[in-house]
Amino acid sequence: MFEKILAAASRFKTEYYRDYPLAKITSFQTGGNADLLLMPNSVEALSALVKACRESDVPYFVIGNGSNLLVSDKGVRGAVLRLSTPMSEIVYLGDGQIRCAAGAPLTALCNFAYKQGLSGLEFAYGIPGSAGGAAYMNAGAYGGEMKDVLTKCTHIAPDGTVGSFSGEALALGYRKSVYSGKDYCITELYLQLTPGNPAEIKAAMDDKMARRTAKQPLEYPSAGSTFKRPEGYFAGALIEECGLKGFAIGGAQVSEKHAGFVINKGGATTDDILALIRHIQETVLRETGVQLQTEVEFIGEV
């Protein structure tokens, strides 16, 4: 089943593991094992692995830091391709333009921009996850979004070929992009930033981090904001209004610090988290008429 995939991994010296516990590399720290976890070290390796998966009829999933994922307790059948340190190069191209590999942590990208004296990414400082994941979902906070600075993404298409989307073709909207729900693998981001005062950039970054620390339950495993912001409302305020702050199912709890966060209070399973999410959605819909949509994505065996 995995012969072609492992041959491609060997050819490109790609690190891989069989029956790997995904709870180790996802921010919720729940879920079962992946049949095969691969950590490609180049675009060429990633392209070869995608082709091998396709030719072998093996389903594959591409993840970054695992910060916006819920993994099934039954695990993930097929291959998981993790973009991380081996694909995390960040390069300043001049004139305010940065090229960033998709596996780079978003916080590392923010720090790189600051050290170059470039402004525009301050909003993203402290958002968990990878740069590729941030582009995939058009991550945003504190009035800023990736669409404000992202100009182009390169990718591996489902057939293993290399391509790119630029400008309006990226279709960046609220927590979505042209890549949403598709089997493309983002490989690099191109960002256009503006020169700024390094001290002011750093102060803005520190302010965002201080606000996150004060208001968000960063001491517990979670996937950040669990729900998208409903038009005209705030998810956390609606959940609190319904009396659900602190409500728990198993080890999963609505954070007492910020009701927009579902956290793993200790020993939670993915089933606990999913049950709590459904309970929140049903309660908020019944009490307020607002349908909450999740930001987190579920992968694995149902």
Q: What is the CATH number of the domain that holds 269?
A: 3.90.78.10
DSSP annotation of 265 reads -
**Of all helices (H) and strands (E), which one includes residue 243?**
none
Go through 103-137 and write b for each residue having 16 or more CB atoms within 10 A of its CB, e for each that does not. bbbbbebbbbbbebebbbbbbbbbbbbbbbbbbbb
Of 181, 215, 249, which residue constitutes the final position of a domain? 215
- The encoded tokens of residue 282 equal 């049903």
Domain boundary among 42, 60, 85: 85
179 and 62 assigned to the same domain: no
What distance in Å separates the CA atoms of residue 17 and residue 55, rounded to the nearest whole number? Answer: 20
* 30 in Cβ contact with 41 (< 8 Å): no
**How far is the C-alpha of 297 from the C-alpha of 294, rounded, in Å?**
8
Report the CATH number that the domain containing residue 27 is assigned in CATH.
3.30.43.10
Supply the pLDDT for residue 247: 98
pLDDT of residue 56: 96
Same domain, 19 and 104: no
Q: What is the pLDDT of residue 159?
A: 86
Residues 113 and 179 grouped into a single domain: yes
Long-range contacts of 157-161, Cβ-Cβ distance < 8 Å, separation of 24 or more: 157/184, 158/50, 158/54, 158/182, 158/183, 158/184, 159/51, 159/54, 160/47, 160/48, 160/50, 160/51, 160/54, 161/47
Flag whether 221 is in a domain. Answer: no
Mean pLDDT by 10 residues, the chain (302 residues): 97 98 98 98 96 96 94 98 96 98 97 98 95 97 96 94 97 96 95 97 96 95 96 97 98 98 98 98 98 95 88
Residue at 225 is within a domain: no
Tokens at 85, concatenated: 């340190």
Same domain? 77 vs 112: no
Residues 73 and 94 reside in one and the same domain: no
Active site residues: 175, 225, 295
Residue 223 maps to a domain: no
Do residue 164 and residue 258 come from a single domain?
A: no
Residues 121 and 165 in one domain: yes
Which of 85, 102, 129 is where one domain is finished? 85
Structural domain harbouring 127: 88-215
Looking at residue 302, its pLDDT comes to 84
Give a yes or no: residue 227 inside a domain: no
* C-alpha span between 272 and 249 (Å, rounded): 6
107 & 74 share domain: no
pLDDT, position 197: 97
- One domain for residues 209 and 244: no
Identify whether 220 is part of a domain: no
Closest CA to 273 of 27, 21, 25: 27
H or E segment to which residue 98 belongs = strand 97-101
CATH number for the domain harbouring residue 171:
3.30.465.10
Antiparallel, parallel or unpaired: β 69-71 and 297-299: parallel
How many structural domains does the chain have? 3
* 92 and 208 together in one domain: yes
Same-domain pairing of 20 and 118? no
Q: Are residues 64 and 101 in the same domain?
A: no
d(CA 224, CA 245): 16
Q: Which of 112, 81, 108 is nearest to 97 (CA)?
A: 112
DSSP 104: S
Provide φ and ψ at 153, rounded to 5°. Answer: -130, 135
The residue length of the chain stands at 302
Amino acid identity of residue 185, one-letter, is C
